[in-house]
Amino acid sequence: MVLEAQQGFGEGLAWGQEALAAASVGLWVLEHDPGSGLTRLLTNTITRRLLGVPDDITPEKCATFWRSRVDSRDRDSIWKKLEDFKNHGDMREMRYCYNHPQWGPIHVRCGGRRVSGDGEQLLRIAGFHQDISELHAAHQALRESLSRLSLACRLGWLGVFELGRRKDRLEFTCNEVFYEQFGLREGANAEERLAAVEKCILPEDRRRWRSLCRSEGWTVGFQEHVELRVNHPWRGLCWFAVACEVVGTPEEPRIAGYVSDVTKHRQHERMLREAKESAEAANAAKSIFLANMSHEIRTPMNGIMGMAHLVLNTDLNAQQRDYVEKIHSTCESLLDIINDLLDFSKIEANHMELENLPFQPEREIEAVLALLRPRLQHKNCTLESHIDPRIPPTLVGDALRLRQILLNLGGNAIKFSERGTVRIDVQLLRRKQHDITLACLVSDEGIGMSRDEQARIFTPFSQADSSITRRFGGTGLGLALCRRLTVLMGGRITVQSEPGKGSVFRVELPFGVGREDMFVPPSLEDDAAMEYACLRGLRVLMAEDGDINREIMEVLLSGMGVECMAAGNGQEALDVWRKQADDIDLVLMDVQMPIMDGYTATREIRASGLPGAVDVPIVAMTAYAMRGDAERSLQAGMNAHLTKPIDVRELTLTLKRLARTCDERREAAYDASNQNL
Q: Are 463 and 469 in contact (CB under 8 A)?
A: yes
User: Does the bond joining 645 to the residue before it have cis omega, within 30 degrees of 0?
Assistant: yes
Over the stretch 67-121, which tens digit does the pLDDT of each residue have?
889 998 888 888 887 777 777 778 888 889 999 999 999 999 888 888 888 777 7
Q: Which has the closest alpha carbon to 414: 405, 403, 423? A: 423
* 158 in Cβ contact with 259 (< 8 Å): yes
Residue-wise pLDDT for 302-348, tens only, equals 778 778 878 888 888 888 888 888 787 777 767 766 766 666 665 55
**Residues forming a β-bridge with 526:** none
What is residue 70's DSSP assignment? B
The candidate with the shortest Cα–Cα distance to 549, out of 293, 309, 315, is 309
| Closest C-alpha to 395, from 368, 357, 439 | 357
Residue-level pLDDT at 423: 92
Name 222's Cβ contacts closer than 8 Å, sequence gap at least 6. 245, 246
> Considering the chain, what is the average pLDDT of its residues?
80
φ/ψ of residue 401, rounded to 5: -70, -35
Q: Over the stretch 172-226, which tens digit does the pLDDT of each residue have?
A: 888 888 888 888 777 778 888 888 888 888 989 888 888 888 877 788 888 888 8
- 55 secondary structure, DSSP code: T
Beta 419-432 vs 253-261: how paired, if at all? unpaired
Q: Which residues contact 191 (CB under 8 A, 6 or more apart)?
A: 170, 172
Mind listing the pLDDT tens digit for each residue in 252-289?
A: 888 888 888 888 888 888 899 988 888 878 777 776 67
Q: Which pLDDT tens digit goes with each residue over 15-64?
A: 666 767 777 788 989 888 877 778 898 988 888 888 999 988 898 999 88
Closest CA to 606 of 456, 598, 493, 653: 598
Each residue's pLDDT tens digit, 122-144: 888 888 988 888 888 888 887 88
pLDDT at residue 508 in the model: 93
CB 253 within 8 A of CB 247: yes
Q: Identify the residue with better confidence: 37 or 674.
A: 37
Closest CA to 129 of 50, 42, 15: 50
Nearest by Cα to 50 from 8, 21, 91: 21
Q: Does residue 514 or residue 602 have the better pLDDT?
A: 602
Q: At what angle do helices 263-312 and 318-348 cross, to 10 degrees?
A: 160
Q: Are residues 504 and 494 in contact, defined by beta-carbon separation less than 8 angstroms?
A: no
Q: Is 452 helix (H, G, I), strand (E, B) or coil?
A: helix
Per residue in 587-642, pLDDT (tens digit) is: 999 988 889 999 999 999 999 888 888 889 999 988 765 555 677 788 888 888 88
Residues 6+ apart with CB under 8 A from 539: 562, 563, 565, 583, 584, 585, 586
Best CA proximity match to 589, nearest among 626, 628, 636, 532:
636
Q: How many residues are there in the chain?
A: 677
Could you give the count of Cα atoms lying within 13 Å of 146 in the half-sphere of its Cβ? 7
pLDDT at 478: 72
Q: How many CA atoms lie within 13 A of 375 on its CB side?
A: 21
Q: Quick one: pLDDT at residue 523?
A: 47
CA distance 658 to 652: 10
Three-state DSSP at 623 gives coil
Q: Which of 442, 455, 385, 439 is nearest to 416 (CA)?
A: 442
In whole angstroms, give the CA distance from residue 523 to residue 352: 29
Tell me how far apart the alpha carbons of residues 657 and 538 are, in angstroms, rounded to a whole number: 12
Which domains are delineated in the chain? 20-138 (3.30.450.20), 157-352 (3.30.450.20), 357-513 (3.30.565.10), 539-675 (3.40.50.2300)
How many whole angstroms separate alpha carbon 43 and alpha carbon 26? 8
Neighbours of 265 (CB within 10 A): 12
- How confident is the model at residue 222, as a pLDDT? 85
User: Do strands 586-590 and 539-543 pair parallel, antiparallel, or not at all (unpaired)?
Assistant: parallel
φ and ψ at 662, to 5 degrees? -65, -40
Which H helix or E strand runs over 351? none
Instruction: Give CA–CA dist 601/542, Å, rounded.
Output: 12
The CA-to-CA distance between both ends of the chain, in Å, stands at 148
Q: Record the pTM.
A: 0.48
Helix (H) / strand (E) containing 77 = helix 72-87
Residue partners of 229: CB distance under 8 A and separation at least 6:
201, 202, 204, 205, 237, 238, 239, 240
Radius of gyration of the chain (CA): 49
How large is the angle between the packed helices 570-580 and 598-606, nearest 10 degrees? 20
User: Is the predicted pLDDT of residue 8 greater than 60, yes or no?
Assistant: no
